[in-house]
Amino acid sequence: MEDWLSLTIAAPPVAGEAVGAALFEAGDSGIWEDLPDSEGRLIYRAGFPLGQESRLMAEIPAALTLIAENLAIQLTEFAVILEIKPWEDFSETWKKGLSPFAIGQKLWIVPSWSEEPVKAGPGAKVLRIDPGPAFGSGRHPSTFLCLTLIHDLAGQAAPARVLDLGAGSGVLALAASLLFPAAKVEGLDNDRDTLAVAEGNRKANGLEEGQVAFSDAPLSRLNPGYDLIVANLTLNALTELAPEIQALLAPEGQLIVSGLLAEQVPAIEAVFKGLGLGVLRHLGQAEWSALLLSPKGSGADRALIGEPEA
């Protein structure tokens, strides 16, 4: 097999979405997101055919310069490495290093291809996930924080209706369905390919559509009264959708929001405070944060948590 060009970009979390889009526009042959580096930067690895070195070294720095200007950050916060590597199967490369991990005592997230033994305790649920091209192996801090909050709610009164906005691989909706087996869970995403991945994971875990269903339905078509809503999105998306999200909550419902950098928490907290929701819990991991909000929230409980426990 031929060698290929490996392009690695380290980017501050706020620029992650834009960097992913820039790599897509550059025509990558495969892209995967690695765990953050020691500085908390997101690591993107992409592959390209040989012979495109000059084009990439012109286009990528120009794209990063524009991203830095638009986000008002320093170009020096990025790092770019372009190197030639032996050929490898992109469809398998991103799976390396992904292993089963625990969420508290009640849940394990297991890659669907993993043959590693799972040390699940009595009564623990095991969720097998194949992210495919969708976002959601469960290991990204924003997803892990959501899973932790969902897990911890399992010891309280179980919600009857759960909504997952931006379902991705379906990991959050499926975890909620396993932890709240009597609940009706709905997962929404506007990407049909992503919905197919979530649907495949539902079937692989033996869950019926009556337990958890995925669709691209707009929020305006949903009936209010959700006891738990999970929205792992971005600051801009959460700000835009906040009134619709609040309107869908049951009077005593709870809302989990993530996809937020720590510095963005005050802004989103203010948005939902204006809609009558306060913070019950604030969890953080690295530079990422997740909030549990409700009409009874007071913002008193904040904690930092470590990496997923393997």
For residue 86, what is the domain's CATH number? Answer: 3.30.70.120
| Domains held by the chain: number | 2
Closest by CA to 27, choosing from 4, 49, 51, 3, is: 49
| Ranges of the chain whose pLDDT falls below 50 | 134
**Residue 93 has what pLDDT?**
56
Looking at the structure, tell me whether residues 31 and 107 fall in a common domain: no
pLDDT of residue 142: 87
Q: Do the domain assignments include residue 212? A: yes
Give tens-digit pLDDT for 215-259: 999 999 999 999 999 999 888 889 999 999 999 999 999 999 998
Instruction: Please tell me the pTM assigned to this model.
Output: 0.76
> Which of 64, 93, 122 is the C-terminal boundary of a domain?
93
Give the CA-trace dihedral at 301, 289, 173, 109, to 10 degrees: -100
Domain span including residue 278: 101-304
* In 62-116, beta strands by DSSP E: 79-85, 101-103, 107-111
Q: In this structure, are 26 and 137 located in the same domain?
A: no
Q: Last residue of a domain, which of 37, 71, 93?
A: 93
So what's the pLDDT on residue 96? 59
- Indicate if 263 and 163 belong to the same structural domain: yes
Provide the β-strand partners of residue 256.
Answer: 230, 292
210 within 8 A of 237, measured Cβ to Cβ: no
Domain boundary among 93, 110, 128: 93
User: Residue 135 sits in a domain of what CATH number?
Assistant: 3.40.50.150
Tokens of 120: 């699940």
Give pLDDT tens digits for 58-101.
Answer: 999 999 999 999 888 999 999 999 998 876 655 555 555 567 88
If phi > 0 it is left, if psi is from -120 to 50 it is alpha, else beta; for residue 11 that is: beta
